[in-house]
Structure 1
């Protein structure tokens, strides 16, 4: 199982998805809304929080989430909410999109309220999604905003920048990631599976005299196919040259021509008798 798939499967057991809305981003900002849900989408916590300082509708954060100070006057204070949250999570992992920000604001809010800070068991869904996306697309890891991750996963975003809505969006992204773990590319596994070995061609083999190059991802370990080929008399090399007589294309090279296939076709055009075969075709040739 892919390492990311293992993580997702583990988190799917008992994780809590959490999101917050705040009065801003700086060291004086406080949490004014928090929500938490479980893997089934059941709401565990959804409340506004009364801040210690008033803010106006010109507040930059207000322009994002639309939560006015007047709506918070009868909300519980952070110490009450923190106690409730800790009873809910009880050590369970918290999956938070941009966890560093939310956990900082949670403890910052506790400090402002002269309450104790907590070491949360938080997992950053933004970082986890970045790893998943890179493995899924075979593109470099990069930072993805929640709305962009949702769009890629086909998740409809409703009432964005409210805590509960963002929790639901994060959960939907998580479910999409979990459902598509079978398509993840594992570089370490790929390297191990496609590790080359030195072989000696069997002079008594039926295909003695053939020079074979194998490229791309294969359905079985490359070393295994190389050894089968060597036992059949093939000389296995790593690069295409005029001496090459067979080029074997792995599955990953079937969609678009690799540099080795392009070189082989150039040599074919020059009159060199190079066979270009799929893995299945090559294995059939070996079995003849």
Structure 2
């Protein structure tokens, strides 16, 4: 898995994609890369025969060297059908945003607004997408398919205010009541020396905290588990809609939202450990023996 994580991370955080800002060629090429692996591993498109869910967002003047304008971008969405005749009508969503701040600039979320340079977002969030694609490969290669259906989604527009996940929630391709849990990965590429994987929202579904603790045993990780503290990434859009949601990350760092968040700082061995942990959580929830329902943590 480490080898695959490295491969995906290297491409997605490369200068070639110029920071993956929505509406740019680099953003579209990143979407195309994700789509290629959705196709390769035989995910089914959820709507209109397309893996793309297009939406518009407005770009403020001065971001990414672009004029103020409305641009088109896309979520990338596919699913694997569950194996249980009843539970396959329930869905677990696993996701990670693929957009970042492009060349930065004024009005952007860059911490260095006066520096116009490629913000590769190696940790934020090429790492989450790398984990998503590794998990996808493991799920589809497993001989025993999960009981519940799993939706894989890579969001655009997260940096501008969770726009891709908000659009997804408003235009769900399945009934909202059938979406039981959402797992989100945002910045999972910088595992620290204490081997801590942080998560918020583990208490939003039944016995979630206990499950995450159990999965942590012999994982090589030290999970820091919060029942609430849902956080600030795309899973929040699901939580606000009354869907159980857990966000995973490996912590902040000085390179966050700067041009220095680069490939050479990624902990690939750690990324593989984190990916394996989240894969185990995903399968456990997809095969959960008890009913899944939302537990508010406010």
TM-score class, shorter: under 0.3
TM-score (normalised: structure 2):
0.22
Bigger share in helix: 1
Query: More relative contact order in 1 or in 2 (CA 8 Å, sep 6+)?
Result: 2
